[in-house]
Amino acid sequence: AGGRTLVFLPGLTADHRLFDAQLRHFEGRFRVLVWDAPGHGASRPFSLTFTLRDLARWLYEILDRERVGAPVLVGQSMGGYVGQALMAQFPGRLKGFIAIDSAPLRRSGVTGPELWMLKRMEAVYRWYPWKLLLKQGSEGCAVSPQGRSMMRGMMAGYDHRYYARLAGHGFRILAEAMEANLLERIDCPALLICGDRDQAGLTRRYNRAWHAEAGIPLVWIRNAGHNSNADQPEQVNQAMENFLSSLPPE
């Protein structure tokens, strides 16, 4: 009880294992919490009818139940969007926010064709042969052997049809949240972390723009892909340590 709390939010189709290296690094010095988002990992079965606002509200209720006052949220990819949705609904709730290979939750900077495609990704994933999707999905998210192995293991926990539904639903609710312009600005100290070899969509472009427009510090992780905290955990942990040390004490 008491002390600073770090709340880790994995990205779309990933589960709590994505942050294994961070939990090992920070446990014993901080309160740490990581979830399997609804529909992911052990949080199944779960009806895929929720919105991004729902995810943020449920996360808020978990934090309230666990008596977490003002946590530092660490969101990777989709987890970063969930963190921003929580800020939009519950302003002033966070002590800090770290976005890992994520992007701003806003309409500007995203093109109409990109939003159109995000809403139709389930069909794309259904069309892909499952073995090819496992290979390209893991290689597209990570560049290191351990990072690719981790992502492939998480993907393999689903069957092809469910994976397509889960990923398609996640991209669709993300597009809807972007269109709604849920969040105008980050209301707490923040840090952007991005792999210098991130090939997932336009994540690197989004982070450069986010840094330039909002003035949020940006740390590039060398030799890391979209799951940079799995590819290069030491670099990511050090960037987190530097950020945490800059925050006011509890």
CA-wise closest residue to 242 among 96, 28, 106, 82: 96
> Can you tell me the mean pLDDT for 40-64?
97
Tokens coding 89: 């609904």
pTM equals 0.96
List the Cα angle 157/158/164 in 5-degree steps.
145
> Who contacts 46 (Cβ-Cβ below 8 Å, separation ≥6)?
38, 39
What is the predicted pLDDT for the residue at 107? 87
Inter-residue contact 165 to 250 (CB < 8 Å): no
* Extended beta strands in the chain, E state: 5-9, 31-34, 72-76, 96-100, 190-195, 218-221
Task: With a cut of 80, say whether residue 109 has pLDDT above it.
Answer: no
> Can you tell me the mean pLDDT for 94-107?
95
Give the pairing type, strands 31-34 and 5-9.
parallel
What is the predicted pLDDT for the residue at 2? 67
Locate tokens 């397509």: which residue?
164
Q: Could you tell me the CA-to-CA distances from 185 to 24, 55, 91 in Å, in that order? A: 32, 19, 10
Burial of 122 (0-12, 13-18, 19+ CB in 10 A): buried
pLDDT digits (tens, 9 = 90+) for 114-171: 999 999 999 999 999 999 999 999 999 999 999 999 999 999 999 999 999 999 999 9
What's the rounded Cα separation, in Å, for the pair 218 and 237? Answer: 14
